[in-house]
A and B are shown apart, each in its own frame.
Chain A
């Protein structure tokens, strides 16, 4: 990938404009930028402002509250109607365990697919690619009824159980991630493995001590993507979880908003802001890895 910030095409384009003194074009671009910035920023700014507004009604209020306070946040964690902190904890727990499981499985699978040659290897990868085409959401009716049936025989795999949710997320996030890990390991020279094996290391030791340490970037990419996806999922959690204490923060927020929109608007906005914070905290330092993950296989190929 080229290092220059300005793409050549546009640098010249801009120079053309400046040379011909095209100030109209210049202004137009700032104008468009201004409109887009309002479009992009206003909703985010507004929700933060609303969450800091102690007044119950916002109509006619200024964009920034006159006397900002955290009273909505305090009410959110102490109120008797909705166990927000429990939801928050559930989401963090589910997303973290899903991430650990997914990273473990994909790293092992990726190593095996990259380094070993076995019958069915290519068909296996094609199967992953085909399955990956169908959005997981299409299976919701089938997943719901399957989990309902399984729950009759295995308690932990029933409806309203976090274990079932974690296993479904793990299974769902495996596919394309396995191929990403495999593609990453493909770029690591095989000679590294071979020298370790010649020195008498087992494949497991080779993987554990030679390959795994240099896989950090892809591990972070997959970890971040999996965490964000599991944390942000709405529909599977909505379909499977029932009791208030078991809900994830996304499902809880949605029910909260539907049920008590008018009464607790301040609390709901505070809940929305809090719910966004874990993902934002992950994005800011690790954005590069997210971008790598999302563009993998398209631009590079």
Chain B
């Protein structure tokens, strides 16, 4: 097929080009904004995608890629980039209080306003629209009245024109189109809400100071590029950057802070500190045991289903019943188990109590929670192992067994010396993949018991049944007041490295790339 013309049809090409053109224009606009705000990683990723798409659609030799360039672009953004970005995050301080770039933080700080002592003052009258939007009519000490709405520039307006009604004796319009004029007694109950609204647009922002007076606001902080510092316009205090936070000489800090490079700080935190390293190693060991036990037991049960009932009358019914867990969505299955083992609602606790006089604390005792999550995981996954080993067994040639029978091998002997070794060889890639999957089996751990019960006396919150990935989730999304994306990313980087090791291991058993031919 080397010689064929790989063009899409003319119609398809034009359609494609149109879509791509619009897409590229859109992406480029976002890239510029991201760049201006200092979000360089995302800006670079989107630029790379733009260049890729442009190349594919402009250079003839990339024609075959036109068939799926958009898919590749998506994968670059949502599969490849997150991996690279995780590495980037792991050397930054991103987390609560440090969520934006320096530029974004400066912009945010420069938007904070204060009421200066000698600022320009106005008399004011409030107007309200039916959808609860407010406007102010401002009367300066001299000059014409101004109409002020939030987020819009102050408007010099003449009563009696442009939808503004006739003035009363003070020069305040009686009506404004779309608004209702509020009397003093209507204003009093809402004065604090009104006082929180910034009318007008920077630099002419007006806020209500009292029932009589509104005042022009000024930016509280200014960024001084020469000194690389924020200066408080009210007090003159200088805030200099210290590890992603503008800090004054007295140690006062401004929020929000911003993202800075912290090098290997996070890795030192958990590798260099005994009180962090030790529980993390415990999590790791449990993580490995959980994955091993899950794969081993599920595979064993799957094998039993495949082999033990072969030829037994009723084996088809037995298998049909045994495959029941398979189509049930994972989350639903885990919720079922969680309810079933619940001492107040499920049937397991009363049953065990009547049989043995007591029932384990499935959710409070770490050992029993571990037993439970492995049990649940086996329930979820043995049907898969049954299906794949049934498929693999059919591919074992008949003749091998004939020879064994001649040699007088027993059923167990045949299983031990022929079936199992051959199965293991055929299924090794799937078993390793399954180990990798279970090593990161967040769902079972988190949905069953959130990785709890908690580990006592740890520096950051950890659960006794946490695996590494659920610990990452805990750091990033659960511990609400101290979310720490940098640390979470650093642990994820360790996970990436561990999985890479597994891949190297897997590559020794299989021709990993044989599908790429």
Interface positions of A (Cβ within 8 A of B): 1-2, 6-14, 16-17, 26, 29-30, 32-33, 36-37, 39-41, 43-44, 46-47, 50, 57-60, 63, 105-106, 108-109, 111-112, 115-119, 121-122, 125-126, 128-131, 133-146, 149-150, 152-154, 167-168, 170-172, 174-175, 178-179, 183, 190, 193-194, 197, 202-205, 228, 231-232, 234-235, 239, 250, 253-254, 257, 261-262, 265, 268-269, 272, 275-276, 279-280, 282-284, 291, 294-295, 297-299, 301
Q: List 8 A-B contacts (CB under 8 A).
A: A6-B311, A44-B328, A46-B347, A112-B67, A202-B8, A235-B443, A298-B429, A301-B514
Chain B residue contacts of A119, Cβ below 8 A:
61
A33 to B320, CA, bound (A): 12
Q: Are B476 and A141 in contact (CB under 8 A)?
A: yes
Q: Are A14 and B516 in contact (CB under 8 A)?
A: no
Q: Are B388 and A9 in contact (CB under 8 A)?
A: no
- Quick one: which of B60-94 are within 8 Å of A by CB? 61-65, 67-68, 70-72, 74-75, 77-83, 85-86, 89, 94
Main secondary structure of the interface of A (DSSP, over half): helix
A143 to B492, CA, bound (A): 13
Q: Are A50 and B339 in contact (CB under 8 A)?
A: yes
Q: Known contacts A129-B513, A174-B74, A174-B75: does B1 contact A115 (CB below 8 Å)?
A: yes
Within the complex, the shortest CB–CB distance from A169 to chain B, in Å, comes to: 9
Residue of B nearest to A275 (CB): B332
Q: Known contacts A235-B443, A262-B344: does B328 contact A280 (CB below 8 Å)?
A: yes
Q: Are B311 and A10 in contact (CB under 8 A)?
A: yes
Q: Are B324 and A40 in contact (CB under 8 A)?
A: yes
Q: Are A33 and B394 in contact (CB under 8 A)?
A: no
Closest 10 CB pairs of A and B: A139-B82, A109-B68, A13-B411, A125-B516, A10-B310, A171-B78, A283-B327, A105-B71, A142-B82, A116-B64
CB of B331 closer than 8 Å to a CB of A: yes
A197 to B399, CA, bound (A): 46
CB of B158 closer than 8 Å to a CB of A: no
Residue of A nearest to B75 (CB): A171
Chain A residue contacts of B414, Cβ below 8 A:
9, 13
Residue of A nearest to B323 (CB): A40
Q: Known contacts A118-B65, A144-B476: does B30 contact A272 (CB below 8 Å)?
A: no
Chain-A contact segment, one of B268-276, B280-288, B434-442: B434-442
CB of B321 closer than 8 Å to a CB of A: yes
A16 to B410, CA, bound (A): 8
CB of B345 closer than 8 Å to a CB of A: yes
Chain B residue contacts of A43, Cβ below 8 A:
325, 333, 336-337, 340, 379
How many A-B contacts are there with CB distance less than 8 Å? 337
Within the complex, the shortest CB–CB distance from B290 to chain A, in Å, comes to: 15
Chain B residue contacts of A138, Cβ below 8 A:
83, 86, 440, 469, 492, 495-496, 499
B71, B329, B339, B427: the one within 8 Å of A231 (CB): B329
Q: Are A172 and B489 in contact (CB under 8 A)?
A: no
Chain A residue contacts of B339, Cβ below 8 A:
47, 50, 257, 261, 265, 268-269
Can you name 15 extra interface pairs (CB under 8 A) apart from A9-B415, A50-B339, A171-B75?
Answer: A10-B311, A17-B411, A29-B308, A37-B321, A47-B340, A106-B71, A109-B67, A125-B515, A133-B436, A138-B499, A141-B86, A141-B485, A194-B1, A234-B443, A268-B335
A204 to B162, CA, bound (A): 60
Q: Are A112 and B411 in contact (CB under 8 A)?
A: no
CB of B322 closer than 8 Å to a CB of A: yes
Q: Are A204 and B384 in contact (CB under 8 A)?
A: no
Interface positions of B (Cβ within 8 A of A): 1-2, 4-9, 12, 26, 30, 33-34, 37, 39, 42, 61-65, 67-68, 70-72, 74-75, 77-83, 85-86, 89, 94, 301, 304-305, 307-312, 318, 321-333, 335-340, 342, 344-347, 350, 379, 384, 387-388, 391-396, 398, 401-402, 405, 410-411, 414-415, 418-419, 426-427, 429-430, 436-437, 440, 442-443, 446-447, 469, 472-473, 476-477, 485, 488-489, 492, 495-496, 499-500, 503, 512-517
Chain B residue contacts of A152, Cβ below 8 A:
37
A128 to B76, CA, bound (A): 11
Q: Are A299 and B304 in contact (CB under 8 A)?
A: no
Q: Are A291 and B85 in contact (CB under 8 A)?
A: no
Chain B residue contacts of A172, Cβ below 8 A:
78-79
Chain A residue contacts of B80, Cβ below 8 A:
131
Chain B residue contacts of A105, Cβ below 8 A:
68, 70-71, 74
Q: Are A272 and B82 in contact (CB under 8 A)?
A: no
Query: Which of A149, A228, A268 has the most chain B CB atoms inside 10 A of its CB?
Result: A149
Chain A residue contacts of B310, Cβ below 8 A:
6-7, 10-11, 13-14
A1, A40, A128, A205: the one within 8 Å of B325 (CB): A40
A39, A125, A171: the one within 8 Å of B77 (CB): A171
Query: Which of B75, B310, B388 has the most chain A CB atoms inside 10 A of its CB?
Result: B75
Chain A residue contacts of B312, Cβ below 8 A:
14, 26, 29-30, 33
A11 to B74, CA, bound (A): 51
Within the complex, the shortest CB–CB distance from B118 to chain A, in Å, comes to: 37
Q: Are B324 and A142 in contact (CB under 8 A)?
A: no
Q: Are A59 and B344 in contact (CB under 8 A)?
A: yes
A235 to B444, CA, bound (A): 11
Within the complex, the shortest CB–CB distance from B448 to chain A, in Å, comes to: 11
Residue of A nearest to B512 (CB): A129
